[in-house]
Amino acid sequence: MSGAAYDTSIIGRGDSPVIQAHNPADQAVLYSIAREGADVALAKGLIVDFITYRDTAPGTVHAMGMYEAHKAELDTKVTAFFYEQLQLTQT
């Protein structure tokens, strides 16, 4: 899921696990829409990790700005999410 699923009816059982980070101040993808997609995915039995950042400065609430503000934490969380969901191991 990238940003949000505007048509949540397309979310179904058996879809891929979801991880997304969002900021309630984001005007490009409204928080309520992103949250709704995550909630529908949860209701369909999917694994969802929905990360909320409320401390991101104005102008950095969407996509790359938010990522850059929280890069270390997001890199760790996303890496751990993929390792767990794909059952990866480090060699």
d(CA 26, CA 76): 23
The first and second tokens of residue 58, run together, are 């104005």
What domain count does the chain have? 1
Per-residue pLDDT for the chain (91 aa), expressed as one digit of tens each?
456 667 889 999 999 999 999 988 888 888 899 999 999 999 999 999 999 998 866 666 788 888 888 999 999 999 999 999 999 998 7
Could you tell me if residue 61 is inside a domain? yes
Domain containing residue 49: 17-85
Question: Does residue 7 belong to any structural domain of this protein?
Answer: no
pTM over 0.75: yes
**11 lies in a domain?**
no
- Domain membership of residue 74 (yes or no) is yes
Q: Is residue 4 in some structural domain? A: no
- Quick check: helix, strand or coil at residue 37? helix
90 found inside a domain = no
Cα 87 from chain centre: 19
Please check whether residue 73 lies inside any domain of the structure.
yes
What 3-state class would DSSP assign to 19? Answer: strand
| In-domain check, residue 12 | no
Q: What is the SS3 assignment for 57?
A: coil
